[in-house]
């Protein structure tokens, strides 16, 4: 009887050890598989650092931040809107006369921080030789560490280019170009023109290919196109609307989820991001009936010699997939699961 109990305990103990070993091996295999599988698709994990950036000097405060970008030194640039701050409750020290001298004052529009959150430079706002946007929108570092700024105010139809230290380089387009000639300067009306070769229509953001040889402009809050520029001259090389069509600025009316997909962009065209896969991903947000979501499409920008000024692609609008085309205008389809982009 004792031998039988001993044998049972030995068998149970051996079985438990084998089970634990098997579980350990299985978990190791799963972990390895997860690592291998995760190399291509695992999303990065983020953690908020409440102490970044460090407190600003001079009683400065930041308004609505409408852009962030990072240069080759890992310095972070933020652009914000001073006019979004409430003079009565947020920037009393900045009023004339100051209603509360101790706090606070709007920070300069562009703030540069090192990777530790220290403020190392600041600049921006109206200056000589350029027209600062009525409502600046977006800030992007190009591969040469120059900074590009757009604007989505009523009068904004220009792009600005600065060095990373804030020295003005070039302006592409002129402000007020989108004012309807039939309207007065005191009561302007603004109209889109997605075929204008010199000016824009409230640019949301710009992006660059890896080589820095082309600028992709999300144009934008008034126009309804993606425009591709030469980064040195600002010359417009090509542009296209939704589905690679010739852009049309007419009002599409309220969004109807039961209607066939509209063949033109709705405003705003909020980003145009070239990718390493050879596609350009375009996000369109805040359409009528979709106040907090946006969807991504991908297009071929085409080449003027092959496709004229417009892309030759088509795309199927959806909140979970998009149709892709190659940069040479050839049709390809790519499913982009959960590629909804929430952008302000």
Residue among 215, 340, 204 at smallest CA distance from 268: 204
**Which strands make up the sheet holding 119-123, listed edge to edge?**
64-70, 76-81, 110-113, 119-123
**Torsion 182-188-189-194 (CA) sign:** positive
Residue among 85, 48, 89 at smallest CA distance from 64: 85
pLDDT for 117: 96
pLDDT for 314: 34
Q: Which residues contact 71 (CB under 8 A, 6 or more apart)?
A: 77, 141, 145, 164
Sketch the domain layout of the chain as residue ranges.
Answer: 1-46, 124-307
**pLDDT tens digits, one per residue of 160-210:** 999 999 999 999 999 999 999 999 989 999 999 999 999 999 999 999 998
Q: Which residues contact 154 (CB under 8 A, 6 or more apart)?
A: 134, 188, 190
| CATH level 2 (architecture), domain 124-307 | Beta Barrel (2.40)
pTM of the model: 0.75
pLDDT for 192: 95
Give the model's confidence band at 262: pLDDT under 50 very low, under 70 low, under 90 confident, else very high: confident
The CA–CA distances, whole Å, from 318 to 257, 262, 326 equal: 11, 12, 19
CA distance 211 to 190: 35
Q: What is the dihedral of CA 108, 111, 117, 118, to 10 degrees?
A: -70
Residue 286 has pLDDT above 70, yes or no: no
**pLDDT tens digits, one per residue of 46-86:** 899 999 999 999 999 999 999 999 999 999 999 999 999 99
**Torsion 191-192-195-198 (CA) sign:** positive
pLDDT for 39: 58
> Taking a C-beta distance cutoff of 8 angstroms, is the pair 236, 229 a contact?
yes
Give residue 128's Cα distance to chain centre.
Answer: 28
Residue among 312, 164, 148 at smallest CA distance from 216: 148
Element at 331 (helix H, strand E) = none
Residue 309, judged by CB atoms within 10 A of its CB (0-12, 13-18, 19+), counts as middle
């Amino acid at each position: 009887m004792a031998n039988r109990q001993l044998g049972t305990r030995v068998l149970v103990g051996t079985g438990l050890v084998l089970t634990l070993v098997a579980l350990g091996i299985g978990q190791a295999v799963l972990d390895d598989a997860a690592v291998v599988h995760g190399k291509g698709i695992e999303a990065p994990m983020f953690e908020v650092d409440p102490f970044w950036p460090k407190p600003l000097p001079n009683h400065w405060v930041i308004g609505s931040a409408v852009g962030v970008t990072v240069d080759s030194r890992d310095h972070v640039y933020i652009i914000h809107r001073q006019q979004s701050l409430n003079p009565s409750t947020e920037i009393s020290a900045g009023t004339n006369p100051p209603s509360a001298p101790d706090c606070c004052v709007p920070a300069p529009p562009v703030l540069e921080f090192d990777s530790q959150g220290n403020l190392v430079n600041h600049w921006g706002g109206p200056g000589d030789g350029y027209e600062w946007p009525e409502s600046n929108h977006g800030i992007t570092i190009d591969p040469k560490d120059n900074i590009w700024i757009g604007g989505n105010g009523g009068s904004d139809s220009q792009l600005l280019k600065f060095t990373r230290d804030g020295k003005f380089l070039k302006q592409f387009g002129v402000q007020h170009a989108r004012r309807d000639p039939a309207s007065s300067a005191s009561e302007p009306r603004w109209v889109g023109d997605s075929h204008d070769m010199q000016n824009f229509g409230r640019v949301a953001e710009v992006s660059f290919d890896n080589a820095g040889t082309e600028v992709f402009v999300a144009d934008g809050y008034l126009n309804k196109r993606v425009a591709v520029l030469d980064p040195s001259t600002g010359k417009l090389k090509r542009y296209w609307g939704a589905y690679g069509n010739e852009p049309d600025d007419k009002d599409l009316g309220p969004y109807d989820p039961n209607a066939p997909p509209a063949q033109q962009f709705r405003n705003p065209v909020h980003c145009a991001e070239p990718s390493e896969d050879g596609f350009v991903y375009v996000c369109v947000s805040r359409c009528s009936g979709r106040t907090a979501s946006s969807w991504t499409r991908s297009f071929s920008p085409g080449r003027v010699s092959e496709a004229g000024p417009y892309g030759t692609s088509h795309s199927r609008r959806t909140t979970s997939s998009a149709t892709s085309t190659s940069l040479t205008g050839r049709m390809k389809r790519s499913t982009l699961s959960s590629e909804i982009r929430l952008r302000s």
